[in-house]
Amino acid sequence: MRTFVAVVDAGSISAAARELHLTQPAVSRRVQRLETAIGARLIDRGTRPLALTTVGRAAVDQCRRLLSVTDELEAVGRNDVGPTREVRIGIAHALTELAVTDPIDRIRDDFPNATVRLSTGWSHELLARVKSGRLDAAVILLFEREGAPVGVAAHTLAAEHLVIVAPRSWRPRRCRPRDLHDAVWILNPEGCAARAELRRTLARFHMPLRVSVETYNYELQIRLIARGRGLGLVPSRLLSRSAVRSQVRILHTSDLTFRLVIWMIVGEVSSGAETLIETFRQALVNRLSNTHA
């Protein structure tokens, strides 16, 4: 079962073999033994990339649950505290800095036997991965108008406000969309929902979106903006802590507003993993309250 789940998570038998330090034939044999025990094919071997059969899609969720229960039962036998299984948490690109300090320290202190695998991605992609069982939980950003995510347990963590940022020399501070017609932008790469929203908004005013620099790093974006390389779209909580905050200014326009919500979403997980994820969520809430204070 562990090998089958590893194949699904890795996306191929060869990738799973590398992660498990096994040969590809050994991984194939293990999956075949599970298929024999169940009495049905789990993987469609005639397709590339790897695809699960209908039975396989149902079986992988059951395997995850059984492995989780087995891990927790073994922990009880060893008198360990907390889950020993791997817990997979996704973090939206714009929120990665929230998870790398206090929340991880808290998990290490409270659950020393657990392994937390963090991965990053765009919010809607992470939501789909939680729904499919490829992630146990995720911290994502959605526009306020989208409402709560459906199909998962969802907890509001904080509001997020993106602001248009310009060099300090930009005039005027309050502007109309048409004032941005000739602007170039420093933004997250394609796939970012805020970038797509900016493009749609500008298109309503028959204006193009011209991107001069793409980078995930908001501090780098702000530094480039301060040097006059373009305009940006930056979370206000990060702008307030930037080392070059005094060298840029926020542009205010009622026609360009970007209000989002930070959500913690959780899929179907065992009680032990649920406890760990709740601890992670509480640490995030504390981190965000300190950030916004």
pLDDT mean values, one per 10 residues, the chain (293 residues): 88 85 91 93 84 90 80 62 70 81 82 83 91 90 92 93 92 78 92 90 91 93 95 92 94 85 90 85 86 56
Last residue of a domain, one of 30, 55, 80: 80
For the entire predicted model, the pTM comes to 0.69
pLDDT at residue number 133: 84
Q: How many domains does the chain have?
A: 2
Place of tokens 């749609």: 200
Same structural domain, 110 and 144? yes
**What is the domain extent for residue 173?**
84-293
For residues 186 and 263, membership in a common domain is answered with yes
Whose tokens are 């094919």? That residue is 41
Instruction: Report residue 243 CA to chain centroid gap.
Output: 26
Which amino acid, 50?
A: L
- Where residue 121 sits, what CATH number does that domain have? 3.40.190.290
**Cα 129 to Cα 122: distance, rounded to the nearest angstrom:** 11
Contact 135, 119 (CB under 8 A): yes
Q: Quick one: 171 and 253 in the same domain? A: yes
Q: Both tokens of residue 2?
A: 């562990």
What CATH number is attached to the domain comprising 42? 1.10.10.10
Same structural domain, 236 and 181? yes
Amino acid at 154: A
**Burial class of 269 by CB neighbour count within 10 A (0 to 12, 13 to 18, 19+):** buried
Is residue 117 located within the same domain as residue 24?
A: no
Domain boundary among 80, 101, 116: 80
Considering the domain architecture, whether residues 154 and 265 belong to the same structural domain is answered as yes
How far is CA 187 from each of CA 1, 173, 211, rounded to the nearest angstrom? 43, 20, 7
Calculate the alpha carbon distances from 85 to 67, 182, 198, 214 in Å: 8, 53, 41, 37
Angle between helices 24-38 and 2-10 (to 10 degrees): 120
Residues 33 and 98 in one domain: no
Residues whose CB falls within 8 Å of the CB of residue 16, separated by 6 or more in sequence, listed in order:
3, 6, 7, 9, 10, 22, 27
